[in-house]
Amino acid sequence: MLPSVRSRRLAVALAIFAPVALGAQGSPFDALRFRNIGPAALGGRMSDVEALPNDPSTVYAAAASGGLWKSTNKGTTWAPIFDHQSSSSLGVVAIFARDPNLVWVGTGEQNNRQSSTWGDGGYRSTDGGKTWSHLGLEASAHIARIRLHPTNANVAWVAALGNLWKPNAERGVFKTTDGGGT
């Protein structure tokens, strides 16, 4: 017969703290070991990673709750490039193939979970992430994908999840033909 949860917890507690209770030297934390508890915590998740096809030394990494990071040396060092925007939660990053300075991001983590952080729409940079323009879709909350037209820099498709917990008018696939103006 399997021991009850209560008896297993007691056995674990005794194994960890008994040496201290019996007067052994050391800290009660000496017997504790680090373990991975999975991605249930709010931070640390990456949403997307994109590199330039013709220059793999330039890489963008979008964090679920930590902004956008750029490396120009194949990931040896990273710099935050989205810190001054109103949302630090990113779902996707896209680079226009014909102009690597044209970078789009969708805010709001795209993974539906108990700690999903929401965003405030899409952004576009024309200078490799030095400056950003807000493109709208403020109520979309979570943008999962941005697909850029292969030859026309003004055409993009944006897949927005919308509010995860209630109906939302900004849920669906949206297309712009004017660089995000509409």
Q: Residue 151's domain is classified under what CATH number?
A: 2.130.10.10
Is residue 169 situated within a structural domain? Answer: yes
* Res. 164 pLDDT band, cuts 50 70 90: confident
Res 62 pLDDT > 80:
yes
* Res. 20 pLDDT band, cuts 50 70 90: very low
Estimate to the nearest angstrom the gap between the alpha carbon of 59 and the chain centroid.
15
Residue listed under structure tokens 């983590």: 109
Residue 50 structure tokens: 């994109």
Res 4 pLDDT > 70:
no
Choose among 57, 125, 58: nearest CA to 90.
Answer: 125
Name the pairing type of β-strands 133-136 and 143-148.
Answer: unpaired
pTM for the whole thing?
Answer: 0.74
Q: 94-147: per-residue pLDDT in tens?
A: 999 899 999 999 998 877 766 678 889 999 999 999 999 999 888 888 899 999
Query: Among the listed ranges 28-42, 77-91, 101-115, which one has the minimum average pLDDT value?
Result: 28-42
Domain total of the chain: 2
- Cβ neighbors of 153 (< 8 A, separation 6 or more) are 96, 98, 99, 102, 179
Contact 68, 57 (CB under 8 A): no
The per-residue pLDDT for 61 is 92
Domain identity same for 56 and 115: yes
Domain identity same for 75 and 108: yes
d(CA 83, CA 116): 19
Domain identity same for 125 and 86: yes
Domain identity same for 88 and 140: yes
The per-residue pLDDT for 40 is 55
Choose among 66, 50, 67: nearest CA to 58.
Answer: 50
d(CA 156, CA 57): 25
Average pLDDT, the chain: 82
Q: By residue range, what is the domain housing residue 154?
A: 46-176
